[in-house]
Amino acid sequence: MYFTIPFARDSRADNIVHTGTQPIALAAATLLMILAGVASIALWRAYSGAAPEPDRVASARQLQARTAQVSEQLVEKAKGLEATQQESIDQLQMVQDQLQTMRRLLAAQQADTRRLSEQVSTLTEAVDGLRQSYASAAQGSESSSPSSARSRSVHTGPAAPRAAHHRRVKSSS
């Protein structure tokens, strides 16, 4: 099975003659339509009296004025926010300073409390020591003279030693 491929005849030469006139006609028709469009736009502008250039300029100026106004408002708001932020920072710094001062005062107060607590415990120990020595001295004197312990128990307070001294002086005279 053999296939034969027929060779195509060069038909470009025939097509050039036929298509040579079509692009020129197409270009001419396109050019005429463009010219007609431009002419209709020119006529419409001339008869309507509305020139778009001044309108565009006016709208551009209004747009620039609005843009400038919005820009100024944004700058003012940014400055206001900056001032508010600075006030907040200042207030926060003041609160932090107060907190630091309170911490120092609390630490000093705790140190004073510890010192006073140690002093109270030292005094308590001293008072306990004095009580024990007084109790042991009182027990020692009770066992040696029961009558003198009775007289001491009857007379109490700062005048007790004087009263005992006066009794001794009267009894010896």
6: left (phi over 0), alpha (psi -120 to 50) or beta: beta
Enter the DSSP assignment of 157: S
Q: How far is CA 72 from each of CA 37, 52, 63, 79, rounded to the nearest angstrom?
A: 45, 30, 14, 10
User: Is residue 148 within 8 Å of 141, Cβ to Cβ?
Assistant: yes
The 10 Å Cβ neighbour count of residue 44 is: 10
From its phi and psi, is residue 49 left (phi > 0), alpha (psi between -120 and 50) or beta? left
Could you tell me which residue, 63 or 159, shows the higher pLDDT? 63
For 2-32, write each residue's pLDDT tens digit: 555 555 555 555 555 455 568 888 888 999 9
pLDDT tens sequence across 125-153: 999 999 999 988 888 877 766 555 444 44
Higher-confidence residue of 159 and 79: namely 79
This prediction's pTM: 0.38
Structure-token pair, residue 50: 């509305």
Q: Give the whole-angstrom CA distance, residue 149 versus residue 134.
A: 13
